[in-house]
Structure 1
């Protein structure tokens, strides 16, 4: 028998997709049962697991009726998430993965933030990396970067570099699903597409400074294994939204100057031309590149960039620390983010 009776309309629905998750799911559910905030339900969508996940969920649901298992045929994370969204009853939806754990104050702090800031549609939090930092330097740097984006303006400007939010750390108003649609299924990261779509629609997002989630990094994480998270899908998705952002915000549209003349930078900038963006030149600091003609365009040094207000720069820099060095230079020269330049990746 349950030791709690679930609210028919809880404040928060925690949405958890689970597939063959019996190894990690107990820690995730125990973290929810330890929350200081009590008015929640956990909608756990078993995505056709072939291990003991269904039995584990049944045992937890018997302990606490706030845990509501749903079972679907295996169809992937988007199918599981959207099925769960059809059944959530809370006014807010908190995302969580079956292999993550949350701080006891997570639901309390995020729900309070949304309830006391009607202009916000989504509140995330900083996260703690739960993998092997020595073996996963790229993930560690990503966590450090996303943890630095707290206000809406930084999240909005950062969205063309990487996904600015760690998916299982967010809580959003359920009404956003009705207004702007659920997760989209396609050859791209489903969470990144959702943030781009909602930000484009004007949804305001912030991030709490507290570390409220341990974001674990097992070898089978989808971001490592699934084709939807490969670079090609990410670039195509980002390019589509970036082109529309430039059309709406670039005072010099359709002209841009691309900072970064290397192969990787050109590969990521070139697809913008298919959306009507016109690249004026490549900007680089390598003296061996400056003065050359590459793909029909000149490679120039930073001193040849248009003055602030006279041109728009897009930076595609992949090297560790390169974007940060560039921003220091641009700020010192009077260029403003979102007005004179934008960092992409």
Structure 2
């Protein structure tokens, strides 16, 4: 294993229009000690030829075929072929800034094992960025600037899949890409959190994140909302749930119903509350929806909040504060 070598793992499938720009951004890195482990996930366009052409010109680029099918198998294949001290991922349709690898390796060398190096991101698209992606980018970058990403981990994926780096030893301790659970980037983020890794703050954009209609996260069923909710609930019950306290679910929209149904299926008792007068008193899945003021009577509790409206969330935060309850201990925002 070469000292301080960075292994850049790149699964790719039918991204020919973007691959050259992606690889050029890696070739332009100020940090020279890297290897690209590119894994072809059964492309039917010119993607494989493009990577092979680059591999002929630079021996640091290595190309393999996916031993299975899908991005998780491709990542597993890539990791098995890698030999770097540091591990990072890159998506084949994105662009690194020239100093991304240098900044991340410097951060990890300075802070040592037990840390995750991250960077700020900028979305770009030929048609402009939607309001939703713009809000997500700003929210994510605010967290990254402080290194406080894990404080909002149950809301959304707080570490962008193509913009992190860790020590290989930490990656192995987190079980790498072994779990076959989608969305795979969100699952890995939770395992970083579970392992107690610390996020190193970063105030610089290190990745340009491309958005387009047929991007995998837009088209694959594995990135549908229900998969995100399943992962949130799985890790909440594993890492933060206290069965000695009353579990409360706040909200009866799509997310609230999905969480409630899953808890019922797992035979986990909970109280279901909301602030919608039209729903209070109704039964869903055999559970009666109670007014949110029930929290005053419950005592020791933990709340999963599934209310998405930002103004309503602020009011809910104020209500919890009034009750003396703490975020990420007594209540958790799932959206």
Asked if the contact 2:246/2:298 (under 8 Å) is kept, the reply is no
- State the partner residue of 1:270: 261
> Against the structure 1 CA distance between its residues 298 and 320, is the aligned structure 2 distance closer, same or farther, given a 3 Å change threshold?
closer
Question: Cα offset for 1:229?
Answer: 1.3
Q: Does 1:37 align with 2:31?
A: yes
Question: Which is further off, 100-109 or 31-40?
Answer: 31-40
Question: Which is further off, 333-342 or 208-217?
Answer: 333-342
Asked if the contact 1:126/1:207 (under 8 Å) is kept, the reply is no
Q: Secondary structure at the match of 1:313?
A: strand
Q: Secondary structure at the match of 1:23?
A: helix
Q: Does 1:64 align with 2:58?
A: yes
Question: Cα offset for 1:117?
Answer: 0.9
Q: How does 1:1-345 map to 2 (within 5 A)?
A: 8-72=2-66, 75-131=69-125, 136-150=130-144, 154-184=148-178, 186=180, 188-247=182-241, 250=242, 253-284=244-275, 286-290=276-280, 295-301=286-292, 303-306=293-296, 310-331=300-321, 334-345=324-335
Q: Deviations over 1:226-277 (max 9, x none)?
A: 1211223222222221112233xx3x73412222234542323331344454
TM-score, structure 2 as length reference: 0.87
Task: Measure the CA separation in 2 of the matches of 1:254 and 1:222.
Answer: 39
> Against the structure 1 CA distance between its residues 132 and 341, is the aligned structure 2 distance closer, same or farther, given a 3 Å change threshold?
farther
- State the partner residue of 1:3: none
Question: Cα offset for 1:103?
Answer: 1.0
Q: Deviations over 1:195-230 (max 9, x none)?
A: 223322323334422111011012221111112112
Task: Measure the CA separation in 2 of the matches of 1:126 and 1:238.
Answer: 23
Please, which runs of 5 or more residues in structure 1 have no aligned partner? 1-6
> Against the structure 1 CA distance between its residues 90 and 324, is the aligned structure 2 distance closer, same or farther, given a 3 Å change threshold?
farther
Q: Deviations over 1:257-307 (max 9, x none)?
A: 2222345423233313444542224032x3444455654334213x44238
> Against the structure 1 CA distance between its residues 42 and 119, is the aligned structure 2 distance closer, same or farther, given a 3 Å change threshold?
closer
Asked if the contact 1:155/1:206 (under 8 Å) is kept, the reply is no
TM-score, structure 1 as length reference: 0.85
Task: Measure the CA separation in 1 of the matches of 2:147 and 2:322.
Answer: 20
Aligned length, in residue pairs = 334
Asked if the contact 1:94/1:172 (under 8 Å) is kept, the reply is yes
Q: Secondary structure at the match of 1:14?
A: strand
Q: Secondary structure at the match of 1:253?
A: coil
> Against the structure 1 CA distance between its residues 290 and 321, is the aligned structure 2 distance closer, same or farther, given a 3 Å change threshold?
same
Task: Measure the CA separation in 1 of the matches of 2:294 and 2:143.
Answer: 31
Task: Measure the CA separation in 2 of the matches of 1:55 and 1:133.
Answer: 28
Asked if the contact 2:72/2:180 (under 8 Å) is kept, the reply is no
Question: Cα offset for 1:16?
Answer: 1.1
